[in-house]
Copies of this chain bind each other. A is one copy, B any other.
Amino acid sequence: MSTGPPRGFAVAEYERRATTAQAMLAERGLDALLVCTEPEVRYFTGFFTPFWQSPTRPWFVLLPREGRPVAVIPGIGEPAMRETWVEDIRTWPAPRPADDGISLLATAIHEVAGRKGRVGVPMGHETHLRMPLADWAALQGATPGIAFEDATSIVRGLRMVKSEAEIAKVAHVCGIVADAFEGLPQLLSAGMTERGAFRAFRIDLLERGADDVPYLVGASGPGFADVIKQPSDRVIEEGDLLMFDTGTLFDGYSSDFDRYHAFGRADDGACRAHEVVWDATEAGLAMLRPGVTTSDLWAAMAAVLDEGGSLGNDVGRLGHGLGMQVTEWPSNTRDDGTEILEGMVLTLEPGLTWAPGCMMLHEENVVVRADGPELLSRRAPRDLPVIT
């Protein structure tokens, strides 16, 4: 088992993230950035724990116009935050519903933004406010001179372009997943249940060096429409298709690609669908380079799907960003229009319905280099693999 690239990031990486965000704050005339969701807090501080699964306590990080972030967090998180580059850590004994950090946060906001100031908060697409809505109202009440403004563009712009250290983590986990997918014919056979197949695949990924497999969906059958499914006790039979799609993690960075396999024999419709989505991916790869847009990628892939006889696609897009989360900005859609930049990590994910109720999705993970895409997943074969 390879141990992979170094864990964590150098302080210089956090400094670069902070100063880039601070330049954006200055450009917008904002005095500070306030974030409260796991990926944003981790991005700016390095604070990394699954404790976010507990919905009880809110967590806040303020990035002032200059200097390091200020953490306003529950006391239980102080030892972990002390391990990061953050120096100014303010805690309260959470949970304390009557004032769950709000007065402490209001004080910190006034310190960094003055009595009358402007504070950016992500309010747009793919963001949410991870604190009680009533506390958000209380915070606004406690900071009457502060204008809170949408700062989605700052975190979106920053996070979409990955550093080499981030890319190395995604590349490593994609390699583990690619190895596991290639090993599926040795791991699975007709007669297993879906649940047994999921369990075996999850354990195999861990044994190959993955830290965790938080996202694993899949289905089996002659064909299926549900591509975000959990396993059932259905027994996999000869002639079935099996799809696995996984966001597997290494050091907090995710893969996101899938593979279809047939058992015993492959249906002609499924084989043809696999070729079409593979060809559509090829068209996306041929189009992908800095300067084109996500809508150019969409159009290149959509043309192949249409020509291949697609009956539709309810996924809503043909791929997206990838990094700390299994899906990130941007989206490859008709209208998205985001300019592709060097260093973006993306999925190409064309999908089609080849017969009513039968969906075929294909996904690869790439990083955008100056001269085009570099695959992070290992390119699937064009022919639908058959497990015999």
How many copies the complex holds: the figure is 2
A379 at the interface (CB under 8 A from B): no
Taken together as a complex, chains A and B put the C-alpha atoms of A51 and B228 apart, in Å, by 6
Contact of A49 among B152, B206, B217, B333 (CB under 8 A): B217
Taken together as a complex, chains A and B put the C-alpha atoms of A331 and B96 apart, in Å, by 10
Taken together as a complex, chains A and B put the C-alpha atoms of A134 and B132 apart, in Å, by 16
Interface 0/1 of A272-290, CB less than 8 Å to B: 0000000000000000000
List CB contacts (< 8 Å) of A43-57 with chain B. Answer: 48-51, 53-57
- Dominant SS at the A interface? loop
A212 at the interface (CB under 8 A from B): yes
Interface 0/1 of A123-147, CB less than 8 Å to B: 1111111111110000000000000
Contact A320 B56 (CB under 8 A): yes
Taken together as a complex, chains A and B put the C-alpha atoms of A333 and B233 apart, in Å, by 42
Segment at the B interface, from A20-28, A183-191, A235-243, A311-319: A311-319
List CB contacts (< 8 Å) of A317-337 with chain B. Answer: 317, 320, 325-328, 331, 333, 335
Contact B128 A76 (CB under 8 A): no
List CB contacts (< 8 Å) of A175-212 with chain B. Answer: 199, 202-203, 206-207, 212
Using A49-B229, A228-B49, A320-B56 as known contacts, say yes or no to A78 and B132 having CB atoms under 8 A apart. no
A55 to chain B, nearest CB (A): 5
Contact A78 B314 (CB under 8 A): yes
Taken together as a complex, chains A and B put the C-alpha atoms of A202 and B314 apart, in Å, by 35
Chain B: CB-nearest residue to A80? B226
Contact A56 B126 (CB under 8 A): yes
Contact A94 B316 (CB under 8 A): yes
Contact B202 A53 (CB under 8 A): no
Contact of A247 among B53, B100, B123 (CB under 8 A): B53
A226 to chain B, nearest CB (A): 4
A29 at the interface (CB under 8 A from B): no
Contact B202 A206 (CB under 8 A): yes
Candidate in A98, A121, A134 with the most chain B CB atoms within 10 angstroms: A134
Contact B123 A134 (CB under 8 A): yes
Taken together as a complex, chains A and B put the C-alpha atoms of A95 and B7 apart, in Å, by 33
Taken together as a complex, chains A and B put the C-alpha atoms of A230 and B46 apart, in Å, by 12
Contacts of A206 in B (CB 8 A): 199, 202-203, 206
Taken together as a complex, chains A and B put the C-alpha atoms of A333 and B79 apart, in Å, by 21
Contacts of A314 in B (CB 8 A): 75-76, 78, 91, 93
A222 at the interface (CB under 8 A from B): no
Contact B127 A123 (CB under 8 A): no
Contacts of A150 in B (CB 8 A): 133-134
Sample of 20 further A-B pairs with CB below 8 A, known A55-B126, A100-B125 = A48-B230, A50-B214, A50-B216, A50-B217, A55-B128, A56-B126, A56-B331, A74-B316, A76-B227, A79-B224, A123-B133, A124-B132, A126-B132, A129-B129, A129-B133, A132-B152, A133-B150, A199-B207, A202-B212, A203-B207
A–B pairs, 16, beta carbons within 8 Å = A50-B214, A50-B228, A51-B215, A54-B327, A55-B128, A56-B320, A57-B316, A76-B314, A91-B314, A95-B317, A123-B132, A124-B132, A127-B133, A132-B152, A199-B206, A199-B207
